Amino acid sequence: MHRATDRGLVLAALIDYAQRMSDDRISPTAAFTGQTWVENGLSPANFGSALGRAMYWSTRPAQVLMRRAGAATLQGMLLARHSAIDTVIADEIAEGRVSAVIELACGMSGRGHRFTSEFPDLPYIETDLPAMVARKQRALDELGPHSDNHEVRVLDAFSSHGLFNLVAELRAKYSELADGGGLAIIAEGLMNYFDEATVRNLWHRVVPLLGTGVFIGDLHTRDTNSGLLIAAYEAALGAFVRGKVHIHFQDRAAAEAAMAAEGGRGELRSPADICDVREPASAKRVWILQMRTGA
């Protein structure tokens, strides 16, 4: 117990120090997630931060031990969901259902940079709140010229009209979207920090905007995240993000029924059914949500 407490105090001190040394004031969760992408080759090095490095390397010994014991790890879940979402988007583009991408609450994800490097003609709009948008734009500018179709915009994903107005603007600007062409709208790592009513409202507003495209995100359900260990993990994560972590639905069927009630045709898929995953135990803790306009 004393060792665990000591490690917690050391981590808290490192986080506090890194935050005071950083001009960016990004949240702990955004910093850790962004650094995870960097350390695993999914984002450029300048997408990381002092705070992210402190958190990533301080927690690494514990995550290595958990991985060796066959337990789920936070890093494993992050990598499973990120890779699976990448695969879904690439497949949607290849099959002609998606002609543009909007990423909500993009944080320091390297996905926009990677996809527009591979598909220079793909309109890709990353959105977040003002401080993160400013940081992301600086990081992209440091990398040099990038696709004219790659933009970073200020947008609150849960505002009443912001997303609607952005989609209308894109449909007016890009001919491939003018007649209902497909949009991929991504909400990675977002929904479990909001209550069910807020999430369902987002689904209700997103469905009419997709055309032939898809809404993609991640979701946790109670049946795959139960027990004392998970309850303790939820409490710790809630303290970490300074808020409540929500698990909205009992199982996959309940989540899919809720999407149908909001006008969508949705399904939850395991990351392991979409792509290769490094940690199968971690991939079992998270679902990839895909929702289309109702048939």
Determine the pLDDT at residue 48. Answer: 93
Residues of the chain short of pLDDT 70, as ranges, are: 1-26, 226-244, 295
Integer Cα distance of 175 and 178 in angstroms? 5
Amino acid at 245: V
Do residues 172 and 59 both lie within one domain? Answer: no
Determine the pLDDT at residue 260. Answer: 96
Integer Cα distance of 117 and 96 in angstroms? 18
pLDDT, tens digit (0-9, with 9 covering 90-100), for 49-60: 988 898 888 888
Would you give the end-to-end CA distance of the chain in angstroms?
A: 54
Determine the pLDDT at residue 21. Answer: 41
Do residues 163 and 101 both lie within one domain? Answer: yes
User: Quick check: 42 and 252 in contact, CB under 8 A?
Assistant: no
Domain membership of residue 15 as a residue range: 2-68
Do residues 50 and 27 both lie within one domain? Answer: yes
Do residues 64 and 78 both lie within one domain? Answer: no
Do residues 29 and 170 both lie within one domain? Answer: no
Give the domain CATH number at 154.
Answer: 3.40.50.150
Residues in the chain: 295
Determine the pLDDT at residue 30. Answer: 84
Tally the domains of the chain.
Answer: 2
Determine the pLDDT at residue 52. Answer: 87
Those residues with Cβ within 8 angstroms of residue 17's Cβ, 6 or more apart along the chain or in another chain: 54
Among 12, 43, 68, which residue terminates a domain? 68
Do residues 18 and 90 both lie within one domain? Answer: no
Do residues 192 and 154 both lie within one domain? Answer: yes
pTM score, whole prediction: 0.86
